[in-house]
């Protein structure tokens, strides 16, 4: 029970400060789950994000579920997911009741502008950290640049990028393994 309460509380704290969606959660997960607690590795977090991108639902919630499951099975998945969504539900209920009254106020509009900028910077920071652990050779760089180009200039589903990259990684590693390199 102590482990489940800890999962709930850790993800509740992250959920309370995770503005801007799942990608904004990357640096928070990196610091809290990987660096501070050692509950998962950076590679595992990247795998969870990739799977979370392909599955229905919010990436951050899906990732919380995967981490909770790794830590304490199905009860851990439930605790981590509940912890992550609790602050959002409370905050959304409060904001939705107040938004119509305050959204037009200049100070509120400016605050949202600042928050959006902050979230963009957090995403870039998380991307740089993930880049360092994900792109380890020329093949990884080629896959990364191909996915970036296609995602920037087409409307292809991210699911296809993840599946295609997985297949490419598998085929290339098998080919390199057979070649003895």
Angle formed by the axes of helices 106-134 and 42-54, nearest 10°: 120
Output the CA–CA distances (angstroms, integers) from residue 13 to 17, 18, 29, 81, 156, in the order listed.
7, 9, 11, 12, 34
The burial class, CB within 10 Å (0-12 / 13-18 / 19+), for 105 is exposed
Summarize the chain as % helix, strand, coil (round to 5): 85, 0, 15
* Per-residue confidence in pLDDT tens, the chain, 181 aa: 899 999 999 999 998 887 766 677 788 888 899 999 999 998 898 888 888 877 877 888 888 999 999 999 999 999 999 999 999 899 888 888 877 777 778 888 888 888 889 888 888 887 887 788 788 888 888 898 999 999 999 998 888 988 999 898 889 888 877 555 5
């Amino acid at each position: 029970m102590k482990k489940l309460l800890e999962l709930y509380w850790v993800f509740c704290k992250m959920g309370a400060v995770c503005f801007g969606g799942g990608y904004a959660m990357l640096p928070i997960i990196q610091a809290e789950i990987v660096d501070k607690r050692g509950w998962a590795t950076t590679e595992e977090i990247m795998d969870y994000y990739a799977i979370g991108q392909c599955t229905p639902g919010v990436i951050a919630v899906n990732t919380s579920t995967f981490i909770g499951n790794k830590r304490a099975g199905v009860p851990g998945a439930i605790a981590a997911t509940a912890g992550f969504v609790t602050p959002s539900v409370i905050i959304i209920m409060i904001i939705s009741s107040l938004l119509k009254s305050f959204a037009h106020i200049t100070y509120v509009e400016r605050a949202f502008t600042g928050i959006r900028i902050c979230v963009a910077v957090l995403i870039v920071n998380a991307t740089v950290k993930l880049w360092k652990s994900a792109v380890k050779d020329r093949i990884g760089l080629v896959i990364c640049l191909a996915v970036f180009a296609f995602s920037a200039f087409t409307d292809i589903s991210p699911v296809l990028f993840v599946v295609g990259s997985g297949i490419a990684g598998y085929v290339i590693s098998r080919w390199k393994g057979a070649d003895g390199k």
